[in-house]
Amino acid sequence: MKRIYLFMFLSVWMFAACSSNSGTVKTDATPAETPQAVEATPPAPAGDSQPMESTAQAPASEAVTDDTDDNVFYHAGAGISITKPMGWKYMSPEIAVAARQSVKLDDQELEKMIKENPNAPLVVLTRYQEPYPTLNPSVSINMTPMPVQGIAPKDFLNLMLTEGVQKMFPDMTYVDEVQDANIDGIKGAYTKVKYTMAAGDMKFPTTTRMWLVPRGKVMFTVGMSGPQEGPDVSEESFQEILKSIKFDK
């Protein structure tokens, strides 16, 4: 169960990182338009069910983009690409790290695990440049070793939510129950939840959509977060981004 719990905090941090607002993300680093990607082990064939013996290690950084289109991010090691809508931004690695370090939780042990996590998202997109005065619609893609083999994506996503995210956000409720879904034809699971982000005395009602896609010994999590109402809900942009995600076949 220790290995499962270790992954839970990775998923919890992903929710916090992709729910970005200037009250929780403060850094002197200059945001970069082009993201840095991380070295990753290519996904094993879908039929490979050998157990993963260790958790993800801190990877080396390497810029990976498509030279023909600045809107496209492609990670050769992970075998995944994503295209940002016009006007959206790629978050710099420095700001992504600052987001992790800014997390404040009642559970001090969980907070410590999140801040000491050596892993970073493959890529983070935001609708607006940071700092932004309120909740910034954001997308984050993570890749981690599959902690346990043989669990259905829907069951694993349920476990992530109940053992991780709900502990971080006690007011979390489901908008869409956990269900079977796919990204680019790859079977996985999906859910949509709402909860309240806090930054000091400020409260941000947040909606997060999450997909989990296993690929052999690794799994991808895609999180899309934004406000629950108003002009920045960004549902159309999120759908556009989702359709743009492609896996190497």
User: Tens digit of pLDDT per residue, the chain (249 long)?
Assistant: 333 333 333 444 444 444 444 333 322 333 333 333 333 333 444 443 333 333 333 333 333 443 446 899 999 999 999 999 999 999 876 766 676 666 665 667 666 766 776 667 889 999 998 878 888 899 999 888 887 778 899 998 998 888 778 877 889 999 999 999 999 999 999 999 999 877 667 788 999 999 999 998 899 999 999 999 999 999 999 999 999 999 998
Q: What is the number of other CB atoms lying within 10 angstroms of the CB of residue 109?
A: 9
CATH number, domain of 161, equals 3.40.1000.10
Element (H, E) at 138: strand 138-145
Q: Cα(183)–Cα(185) distance, rounded to whole angstroms?
A: 5
Structure tokens given for 80: 């995944």
From its phi and psi, is residue 234 left (phi > 0), alpha (psi between -120 and 50) or beta? left
Per the structure, the count of domains in the chain is 1
Considering the entire predicted model, what is its pTM? Answer: 0.74
Comparing C-alpha atoms, which of 130, 136, 97 is closest to residue 114? Answer: 97
CB 12 within 8 A of CB 221: no
Which domain does 239 fall in, by range? 2-247
